Structure 1
């Protein structure tokens, strides 16, 4: 995604949307609701309870970035998230 596309998207945002800053890129957070198999939920819950640096949001975000990167996404933000998660930055 080009920087000017990010600027355009942020100009169109409503004032009540949540904004997060990661590195020098501005990212917009959204809520996501999904049904997952109970076994995956239990595994996620166990992982999070044993790793203080992780929470549900970070885990899901990391999993999505991993999937997109490994399936050919060429978006710079996806690649950056994927690499940061690999090196625990």
Structure 2
């Protein structure tokens, strides 16, 4: 095997790993604790109680994706989350 072939194979393996990682990102989650102003908490609680398809996790996740997208994130997972939430998918 020539050096160029080895180098190409290494690039293919790295690409496969990145694609696998991107797919795994949709399945991964972390616990997050944050202090928010009371007005935001009340608004969030009222929204969730009036919309049965939403929960606290989905709302926070959507808000973060919205913020990141509107501030220039080009991450595919962020863009997908943003668009899915806009179109209620």
> Which TM-score applies when normalising by structure 1?
0.75
Task: List gaps (5 residues or longer) in structure 1.
Answer: 10-23
Greater per-residue strand proportion: 1
**In 2: Cα distance, 1:3 partner to 1:77 partner:** 16
Alignment RMSD, CA only? 1.8
1:5 maps onto 2:15 in alignment:
no
Inter-partner Cα distance in structure 2 for 1:3 and 1:76: 16
Give 4+ residue runs of structure 1 displaced > 3 Å after superposition.
none
* Structure 1 residues 32 and 3: CA distance shift in structure 2, 3 A: farther
- Bigger-Rg structure (1/2): 2
C-alpha separation in 2, matches of 1:46 and 1:30: 24
Tell me the alpha carbon deviations over residues 7-37 of structure 1, each in whole angstroms, 9 at most, x when there is no partner: 4x5xxxxxxxxxxxxxx92231000000000
How far is the alpha carbon of 1:3 from its aligned partner?
A: 5.5
Higher helix share: 2
